């Protein structure tokens, strides 16, 4: 069974610091990788996706992918209290795969 592992947290960082969220996955054939943010009581919303090895930046967010190590991470620079949420890593399977497999999420708390 395909697995996606995340530290459950909570991860606490002071306002303005960098938050680093990590995710590992078991299916070496996985091709697409997503980070979702979920506020309490709300549904997940996409922050970023990444397909290729390396870094991808979007504003304060940077996704990093290392397929050889089966590792994907999300960095949040200049963390704000509004970033406090649960962050879900999601991974697709190989070519032609329809499913997204989610990690259990890391709860992030940004302390003012």
Q: Footprint of other proteins on this chain (CB under 8 A)?
A: 1, 8, 31-32, 34, 42-46, 49, 51, 88, 90, 92, 98-105
Of 62 and 101, which CB lies nearer to other proteins in the complex structure?
A: 101
Q: Shortest distance, CB of residue 38 to other proteins, whole angstroms?
A: 9
**Residues 65, 31: Cα–Cα separation, whole Å:** 11
**Residues 57, 43: Cα–Cα separation, whole Å:** 24
3-state class (DSSP) for residue 27: coil
3-state class (DSSP) for residue 56: strand
Of 5 and 17, which CB lies nearer to other proteins in the complex structure?
A: 5
Of 1 and 69, which CB lies nearer to other proteins in the complex structure?
A: 1
């Amino acid at each position: 069974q395909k697995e996606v592992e995340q530290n459950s947290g909570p991860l606490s960082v002071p306002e303005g610091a960098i938050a680093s969220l990590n995710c590992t996955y078991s299916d070496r054939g996985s091709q697409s990788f997503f980070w979702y943010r979920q506020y309490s009581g709300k549904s997940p919303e996409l922050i970023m996706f990444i397909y290729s090895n390396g870094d991808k930046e979007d504003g304060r967010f940077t996704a990093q992918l290392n397929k050889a190590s089966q590792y994907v991470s999300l960095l949040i620079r200049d963390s704000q209290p509004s970033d406090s949420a649960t962050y879900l890593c999601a991974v697709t399977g190989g070519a032609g795969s329809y499913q997204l497999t989610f990690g259990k999420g890391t709860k992030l708390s940004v302390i003012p």
